[in-house]
Structure 1
Amino acid sequence: MAIVEFTIVPLGTKDTSLSKYVADCHKVLEGEENVKYQLTPMGTIIQGDLDLILDIIRRMHEIPFKNGALRVSTSIKIDDRRDKNSTMEGKIKSVKEKL
């Protein structure tokens, strides 16, 4: 199971506020049942099958274009652990245990 952090930034918009674009992108996630996600102040973290996650991010990447952005920059960070099952909660718990 992969854990992916990503940020989708629309460029070439008439406003500096991005929350409308973020909300519209997150509507794609609301319909997904096979992933778990968490909105953060600077991006989104999603957990699940890597192929499915990349497909979801690709669809989300298109949303700002559909809403008038002239350019979109998407950054993706992937943690794909194969030796054991990894979860968002497990990663946080592991750090907190060491504090």
Structure 2
Amino acid sequence: MTDLYAVADFCLIPMGTAEPSVAEYIAECQRVLEKSGLKFKLHGYGTNLEGPWSQVSQAIHDCHAAVHAKGAPRVATDIRIGTRVDREIAPGEGNEGKVKRVEEILAKDQK
């Protein structure tokens, strides 16, 4: 079996830092994701990330390592991952496809 295509949402939480703001740590994680080549989008309480399961989990691992290297003694992460095999998901369109489908349904309400 080939690697499953994963659509994930994760919230990485640096802990034990001197400042209440964790923006510098989250920016470091975003730098890691830029290098991963995966499609991702930062939002207010996490990041959407998609691609082959092994690459998605490696990218989250690499974010942990980078945030620790930046000085966070502890990192906790909440992760939700979805996969499907009943239809093809074009690479990079998993999260956008989900949003688009709901927007299409809501647009019918406007008519």
Question: TM-score normalized by structure 2?
Answer: 0.83
Percent of matched pairs sharing the same residue: 36
Cα displacement string for residues 66-95 of structure 1 (whole angstroms, at most 9, x for unaligned residues): 111121101110011111134111101111
- 2:109 corresponds to: none
Aligned residues: 98
The runs of 5 or more residues in structure 1 that have no matched partner are none
Instruction: Tell me which of the two structures has the higher relative contact order, counting C-alpha pairs closer than 8 angstroms and 6 or more residues apart.
Output: 1
- 2:29 corresponds to: 25
- Distance in 1 separating the partners of 2:96 and 2:71: 36
The runs of 5 or more residues in structure 2 that have no matched partner are 107-111
Structure 1 residue 2: deviation in Å? 1.3
Structure 1 residue 32: deviation in Å? 2.1
Secondary structure at the residue paired with 2:36? coil
Q: Could you list the runs of 4 or more consecutive aligned residues of structure 1 that deviate by over 3 angstroms after TM superposition? A: none
1:43 aligns to 2:46 (yes or no)? yes
